[in-house]
Every structure is written in structure tokens, then in C-alpha cells.
Amino acid sequence: MAKHVWIRKKGECYFLSVLNMEKKVIEAIGISKSFHDPITVKVLTDVSFAIHAGEFVSVVGKSGCGKSTLLYILSTMDTSYEGELLLDGVSMKNKKDAELARVRNEKIGFVFQFHYLLNEFNNLHNVMLPGLKYEKLTPKEVEHHAYEKLKILGIEKEALKYPNQLSGGQKQRVAIARALINDPLIIMGDEPTGNLDKKNSDVVFHIFKELAEEYQQSLLIVTHDLDFAANTQRTITMEDGRIQKGPTNNLTA
Amino acid sequence: MKINLITRISVALLTARLKQTIIAAFGVTFSITMFITLLSFMAGLNDLLDNLILNRTPHIRLYNEILPSPIQPINRSTAYPGAYHFVKHIKPKNELPEIRNSEAIIKALENDPNVRGVAPKNTVAVFYNVGAINLTGVINGIDVDAENRLFIFQDYVVEGKTQDLKNTPNSIILGIGVAKKMLVRIGDNIQITTSDGTRFPLKVVGFFQSGIEELDKVQSYATLATTQKILGKPVSYVTDIQIKLHDITLAPALARRYHTRFGTEAIDIQTANAQFETGSSVRTLISYAVGITLLIVAGFGIYNILNMMIYEKMDSIAILKATGFSGKDVNAIFITIALTIGLVGGALGLIFGLGLSALIGEIPFDTPSLPTVKTYPISYNPKFYIIGAVFSIITTYLAGYFPSKKASRVDPVDIIRGK
Ligand SMILES: Nc1ncnc2c1ncn2[C@@H]1O[C@H](COP(=O)(O)OP(=O)(O)OP(=O)(O)O)[C@@H](O)[C@H]1O
Ligand SMILES: [Mg+2]
């Protein structure tokens, strides 16, 4: 999948592995975080990495090593950390609550272990809500868009049902459609297949894969499933709040 | 579009908890209904009691007090300047409390733009002769038309017609209390005696009931001409000039002015009836206090339902925030819920309040002391409805304020981590 490009500069030749574009959609620079309740525990130490547009990256690590904590910081929901977070080249430091909400709305799609669908709305409207909030498109267009996302995930037939009328795997797919509605810069997932059986996990994995390959969607997925991780383009391994050094590119990709 | 989205989410949350929502709204409805009914009824009662006095009382009354001569002979002596004089012997002159130059005063008052109307009056102290017994009483000599116009005299004449007083010479409308004691009917003749012993026959043409029993046992009405005849006085003889103003609040100031201008005593209604003002304002205060207490209780109902809703909808709040709704949006959603409950509950409350007070206004209320009142008095003052509406919105807003604030501060990370 990675394109290999030769660049000629001052007579020297560099071999670069470039992914679609040089553009970094998200970049963490020396992010650290401690909890102070009840005693100070350092959960993240000097985490630095970047994800390029179109990359499908997985994060693995032992339970309690700080994966979720990192993801909450990257998604701008958690703002108490040291270091620098750049989203689309823009620093997220010193942004107001409403501005961060806007960033989450426009640039980040989040998929959790739990689906978090609103039972008061049907699946279509659940998918539409962040799109309506964005206000870039008219409600009619948002609806059309939502149908397309549901189609990608193969559940357009369930659009007018309510979340409690769906299976666990179907709910998770609606949640992924919701994450896609505003064509985000990056999709983040915190064990999105954690609640699913093997079959449904595979379905979700293939959806992610398809999103990455066909739609050049950047993805950052935390997982415990090593098979899952091995099938992504790159795996970041964490241990005790640090990123482990070593090769990260998965050759099988 | 954004407002629309916020309302859609609010409505979805509301309908998901329809039962509790209805109960909370019903709390507001109940309190506004009671608030409106209570105030309408109290105000109706106040108006009734006030009118009992106000309708029958001139805004300013000009009269002469029988007073001893202010300059006693001893004052003319210069022997002891600054000393206190014990010697007083010039008693009041033998004169009736006539307003001198009454015709000119009445004319001047009728041309005064502040004055709505003037009704001259005489009062004659008399004895009603009942067989061997004499009952003390007072006959008011009135200008029938002016009295009807300014003091709705006709409403208080429970039998007979006021016009008969004008058209029948030497006629009288007896106080109902007097009439009962004298066992007379309309068309009967009675005898009265004045304080100087003159006897005079009068024909009964009607009965009068003021609602104040003590008054009805004493007072009767005749025309000015009749009383002047009884007293043997000329047509200019008037002891009281009753004035109604366009604006009652000017009464004290104008009373002072007339006092100096016409050289008579002048008393304004506010001074004469201070206790009634106090009574009404205390009653009004109590109604407001009860009404507002009810609203506050309803406010706690809304506060509770919102807190419960927020507790139940933590997940929804978390995901809304995770997908880009700001704290402000979440706040707006819950304030909208609170205000919807308040507006719907309040609007129904206003309608039910109107209905209930109208219903009370239909209940028969017969009391012999209030001849003009047939049903419970209700005041349909739009002021109460405006206050009710404003208060229902304010209390629901306040009740929604803190829960909404709490919802807007929900940290999605806490909720998501908790799963
Ligand atoms: N609110 C908190 N207060 C104190 N410590 C916390 C808090 N939240 C998380 N931690 C600690 O931070 C560390 C990292 O937690 P985190 O949820 O990021 O782990 P994780 O890698 O996602 O684990 P898992 O794979 O089990 O989900 C843990 O040791 C946890 O105990
Ligand atoms: Mg985790």
C-alpha cells in the first residue's frame, strides 16, 4: 500500500516511504499526563508520534498502560496534559471549550467500545446529529450523506429502526457511520471491537480497512486484538505510558 | 437551524420521559391555576369591599364643623401676653352647619377640570315617629340625578325607584332597618320630628340598603327640596358638597386647596378611609405570597425532574459532547426542556385559572348586607395573568438553571471511562 518515492536533492538520493501525502493529520509532541487523585501517578510520559493522512494505525499495550488516556487527549476531550498536540497542523493548546467542541465535530470521528447511540432517535438521526451540528450542509444533504455512510457499512436497511432494535455488531456499525458523517480528518477508536464476537470484529475490521484503502481515511485504533493490530499498516506499542521503540510498520499490510 | 437542532434533542429527551414531564408541567399548571384563582378572587373581594365604601364616599367632602369661636373675648385683653387663658365662655353660635354661598361654590367646582361631578347634600337629624316611640335618624337631602350618577344610588335602593323620590313631593326612601322597625310598606305615610320639634309627614316611595346595617337603621333619603322644606330653609341651604374627581389620587391635594379657597372644611377619601387601603393591601400581599410559594414548590418539581433526567442521560450528554456539542449547547438543551415545561404548564395554568375563577364567579353568593352582589366577586384583571406568566417562566428558568449548568459541565471522559 505504501508508495515508495525517490527524491533527488543536491545529487543525493533519499528513499522515502510516503503515504499518499506528506500531511500529518495529527501529531503528539512530548505529551505527558499525571493523575493526582489520590496520589500522583504518571500515566503518560513524553509520548511523541504523528499520523499521516490515509494511515491506518493501531495502538496496543497491556491493560492500564495509558492507551485510553492517550486517546482522550488526542481527541481533545481531555485537556489537562503537558506537551503539544497538533491537529491538522493547528495546536490544540489554549483553545476554549466551544472551539474544541467544534474541532471534535469537524475533524474527529470517535468510536468507543460502547456504541453510545441515543435511544430517543432512530439510527439515521443518530448518524445525522453531528452533521446537523456542523451546519455545513442542509438537513436534507446531511440525511443523504448519512444514508451513504450507512450504505458503506451495509446497514442502510436499518436506518429507520431504533438503536435498541439492532444487534451489537449493527449498533457498532451505526456508531462508525456517525463517526464518519462529517468526513473527519481522523477516526479514533478505543477498542471498538472489544464488545463484539470474532465474526462481528472481523466485519468491523474490514470496514476500517476498506475506509483506509478506498476512502484514504486516517484511522487510529486502540485494540487488544493482536491479529487486528497485525493487519493494520502500523502498530504503536505502549508500555507504562511510553511508546516502545522499534519497528512499527507491519509488513503484512 | 441550530435552534431547531437543540429543540429537537430537547423534545426527544422530554418525550422519552413523558410521564415525569407531564407531572412536572402539571405542578406548574396547578400553581398558576391557584395563583390566578386566588388573586382574581381576592381582588374581586377587595374591589367589592372597597366599592362598598368607595362608591358611596365622595372623593372630597366640603362641610362646616360646628366649632366654638376661635377668638374668645379674653384674647382681646393685652394684660397678660403669652399667658394661658382658662376663661372660655363664648359657645358655638346657634347656627346650622350651612355652607355659605353654596351655589357659587358648586358652580366653581363644576367648572374645575379635575372634578367629575358635584352632588350637594343636606343632612337633617330627625326622629322617626313609631307610635309612642321616636327613633333617632338622619335624613339626607340629595340631588337624585347627581347621586345616581356619582354614587350609583339606584343600586342600593332595593325596593321602589329613585325617580319616585324626585317626582313625588314630600317623599322619602327609608333605610331598610328603619322600615322594618316601623312596619311600613311603599305608599305608606310616616311622621318625622325635627330637633326643634317640627312634625312633618312624608310618603314612603322606596327602601334603601347600603350593606352596612348600622347605617340602614338610621339613614333615609329625601330630595334637597324636601329637607329644605322640613328645616324651613331657602333653596340655597346645603350642608355638604360631595365631590367626585377624575383622579382619586389628587384628592388630598385638592382638598387642601378647596379648604383655603372656599373657607370650608374639606376632607379627602384617603384620610377618611385609611383603614380600607391597609386591609386591601394586606389581603393582596397574602395572595401573592401564597401564589408565589406554590410556584416555588412547582419550581422544585422541575428541578427534580431535570436532575433525574440529567442523571439518566449522562451517556447521551457524554456522546453529544464527544461528537462536538459544546457545554453551551448542552446547557441550552436542558434550559429548553425546563422552559418547555414552564411554558406549557404555565399556559395551561392561565387557562385553567381563568376557567376556575369564572366557575367561582358563577357560584351564588347571597348575603343580605350586600344587595348588589349575587355571585362570588371575581376580578378579571389581565395584570394577574401577566404576572402569572412571567413568574412561571422565571421560576422554571431558575429551576432549570442549576441542573443545566451541571449538565453542561459533564466531562465526557469521566462517563466514557466509567463504562
Ligand atoms: N481518573 C483517574 N484517576 C487516577 N488514575 C487513573 C484515572 N484514569 C485512569 N487512571 C490510571 O491511568 C492508567 C491508564 O489508564 P487507561 O485507561 O489509559 O489504560 P488503558 O491502557 O486504556 O487500559 P485498558 O486496556 O484496560 O483499557 C491506569 O493505571 C489507571 O489506573
Ligand atoms: Mg482503555
By the CB < 8 Å criterion, does B132 face chain A? no
Whether ligand 1 lies within 6 angstroms of the CB of A63 is answered as yes
- Name the closest residue on chain A to residue B11, using Cα atoms: A120
- Look at residue B368 in the predicted model and tell me its pLDDT: 64
How high is the pLDDT of residue A15? 44
Return the pLDDT at A253: 43
- Asked if residue A94 has its Cβ within 6 Å of ligand 1, the reply is no
> For residue A107, what is the domain's CATH number?
3.40.50.300
Asked if A134's CB is within 8 angstroms of B324's CB, the reply is yes
Q: Which ligand has the minimum distance to the alpha carbon of residue B418? A: 1
Q: In terms of DSSP bridges, do strands A108-111 and A186-190 run parallel, antiparallel, or are they unpaired?
A: parallel
Choice between B188 and B95, residue whose per-residue pLDDT is larger:
B188
Claim to verify: residue B293 and residue B372 sit in the same structural domain? yes
Residue range A174-223, pLDDT digits in tens: 999 999 999 999 999 999 988 888 888 888 899 999 999 998 999 999 99
Rounded mean pLDDT of chain B? 87
Protein residue whose Cα sits closest to atom 29 of ligand 1: A64
Q: Measuring from atom 19 of ligand 1, which residue has the nearest CA?
A: A64
Contact (CB<8Å) A77/B412 = yes
Of B108-112, B239-243, B272-276, B352-356, give the lowest mean pLDDT range. Answer: B272-276
User: Could you tell me if A132 lies within 8 Å of chain B, comparing CB atoms?
Assistant: yes
pLDDT at B219 over 50: yes
Q: Residue window 339-398, chain B: list those with CB within 8 Å of chain A.
A: none
Query: Is residue A18 over pLDDT 50?
Result: no
Mean pLDDT of A25-29: 94
The mean per-residue pLDDT over the stretch B153-164 comes to 88
The number of angstroms, rounded, from the C-alpha of B269 to the middle of its chain's C-alpha atoms is 13
Stronger pLDDT, B65 or B178, i.e. the higher one: B178
Q: CA nearest A26: which of A191, A233, A187, A199? A: A187
Residue A16, in any domain of the structure: no
Residues B326 and B283 in one domain: yes
Q: Which of B12, B322, B323 sits opposite A120 (nearest CB)?
A: B12
Q: B319 and B244 in one domain? A: no
Does residue B45 belong to any structural domain of this protein? Answer: yes
A106: chain B residues, CB-CB within 8 Å: 324
Model pLDDT, residue B2:
63
pLDDT of residue B299: 83
Q: What is the mean pLDDT of residues B186-200?
A: 89
- pLDDT score at B370: 65
A164 within ligand 1 shell (Cβ under 6 A): no
pLDDT of the residue at B66: 73
Residue from B210, B127, B213, B219 nearest B172 by CA: B219
In sequence order, what are the beta bridge partners of A49?
A28
Q: Tell me the nearest-neighbour CA distance from B405 into chain A, angstroms.
A: 14
Pocket test for ligand 1, best of A31, A37, A65, A73 (most atoms within 8 A of CB): A65
Number of structural domains in chain A = 1
| Rg (alpha carbons) of chain A, rounded to whole number | 19
Determine contact, residues B219/B208, Cβ cutoff 8 Å: yes
Closest-CA residue, ligand 1 atom 30, reads: A64
- Are residues B338 and B220 part of one domain? no
Report the distance separating Cα B341 and Cα B404, nearest Å. 14
B303 and B190 in a common domain: no
For chain A, give the percent of residues with pLDDT over 90. 69
Alpha-carbon distances of B78 from A119, B71, B85, rounded to whole Å: 105, 14, 12
Q: In chain B, which residue's Cα lies nearest the Cα of A134?
A: B324
Mean pLDDT of B321-344: 92
Chain B residues close to A139, C-beta within 8 Å: 1
- A1 lies in a domain? no
Q: Which B residues in the span 43-102 are in contact with A, Cβ-Cβ below 8 Å?
A: none
Query: Domain check: are B9 and B103 in the same one?
Result: no
Q: What is the pLDDT of residues A72-119, one digit of tens each?
A: 999 999 999 999 999 999 999 889 999 999 999 999 999 998 989 999
Would the CB atoms of A132 and B1 count as touching at under 8 Å? yes
Give B348 or B215, the one with higher predicted confidence.
Answer: B348
Residues B266 and B128 in one domain: yes
Does residue B329 surpass a pLDDT of 80? yes
Which residues are CB-contacts of B73 (< 8 A; sequence separation ≥ 6)?
B89, B90
Do B387 and B413 sit in the same domain of this protein? yes
pLDDT digits (tens, 9 = 90+) for B338-373: 899 889 999 999 999 999 999 999 998 877 666 667
The verdict on residue B87 lying in a domain is no
CA of A229 to the centre of ligand 1 (A): 21
In a domain, residue A211? The reply is: yes
pLDDT digits (tens, 9 = 90+) for B371-388: 667 888 899 999 999 988
A12 lies in some domain: no
- Alpha-carbon distance of A206 to B229, in angstroms, equals 118
Task: Please tell me the distance between residue A65's alpha carbon and the centre of ligand 1 in angstroms.
Answer: 7
| Amino acid occupying residue B270 | Q
CB pairs A-B closer than 8 Å: 78
Q: Read off the pLDDT band of B96 (50, 70, 90).
A: low
Choose the final residue of a domain: B250, B272, B294.
Answer: B272
- The domain tally of chain B equals 2
B281 and B157 in a single domain? The answer is no
Best of B323, B405, B419 to substitute, by most chain A Cβ atoms within 10 angstroms, is: B323
Quick check: A4 pLDDT over 50? no
| Residue B230 included in any domain | yes
Residue where the block lists cell 477516526: A187
Query: Do residues B167 and B27 share a domain?
Result: no
How many whole angstroms separate alpha carbon B284 and alpha carbon B139? 37
Name the E strands within chain A: 3-9, 12-18, 24-35, 41-52, 56-61, 82-87, 90-91, 108-111, 186-190, 218-222, 234-239, 242-243
CB of residue A69 inside a 6 A radius of ligand 1: yes
**Residue A22 alpha carbon to ligand 2 centre in Å:** 30
How distant is the alpha carbon of residue B43 from its chain centre? 7
Q: With respect to residue B84, please indicate whether it lies within any of the assigned structural domains.
A: no
Residue nearest (by alpha carbon) to ligand 1 atom 16: A66
Supply B17's cell numbers: 420521559
Q: What percent of chain A has pLDDT over 70?
A: 89
Most ligand 1 atoms within 8 A of CB, residue of B413, B416, B417, B419 to mutate: B417
Residue A162 contacts B, CB cutoff 8 Å: no
Pairwise pLDDT comparison (B143 vs B270), residue with the higher score: B143
- Please check whether residue B82 lies inside any domain of the structure: no
Closest chain A residue to B16 measured between Cα atoms? A120
Would you state the pLDDT for residue B171?
A: 93
| Domain ranges, residue A185 | 54-77+95-249
- The residue segments making up the domain with residue B217 are 60-72+93-272
Q: Please identify, among B242, B272, B302, the residue that sits at the C-terminal boundary of a domain.
A: B272
- For residue A13, pLDDT over 50 is answered with no
Answer yes or no: is A231 within a domain.
Answer: yes
The 10s digit of each residue's pLDDT in B2-18 is: 678 899 999 988 888 88
Q: What is the largest CA-CA distance in chain A?
A: 64
- The pLDDT of A24-33, averaged and rounded, is 94
Residue bearing the bigger pLDDT, A237 or A22: A237
Distance CA B139, CA B227 (A): 8
**Cα of A70 from ligand 1 centre, angstroms:** 10
Lowest mean pLDDT among A157-161, B137-141, B191-195, B284-288: B284-288
Examine the domain organization and report whether B312 and B403 are in the same domain.
yes
Q: Give the residue from B101, B99, B137 showing the smallest Cα distance to B121.
A: B99
d(CA A146, CA A128): 6
Please answer yes or no on whether A106 and B416 come within 8 Å at the CB atom: no
**CA of residue A83 to ligand 1 center, whole Å:** 19
Kindly tell me if the per-residue pLDDT of A21 is higher than 60: no
Answer yes or no: do B127 and B11 share one domain.
no
Cell matching residue B12:
426527544
User: Mean pLDDT for chain A?
Assistant: 87
The span from the CA of B119 to the CA of B151, in Å, is 9
From atom 25 of ligand 1, which residue's Cα is the shortest distance away?
A63
Angle at A220 between CA A137 and CA B415, to 5 degrees: 80
**Domain contains B336:** yes
Between chains, do B329 and A133 touch, taking CB under 8 Å as contact? yes
Tens of pLDDT, residue by residue over B242-256, are 999 988 888 899 999
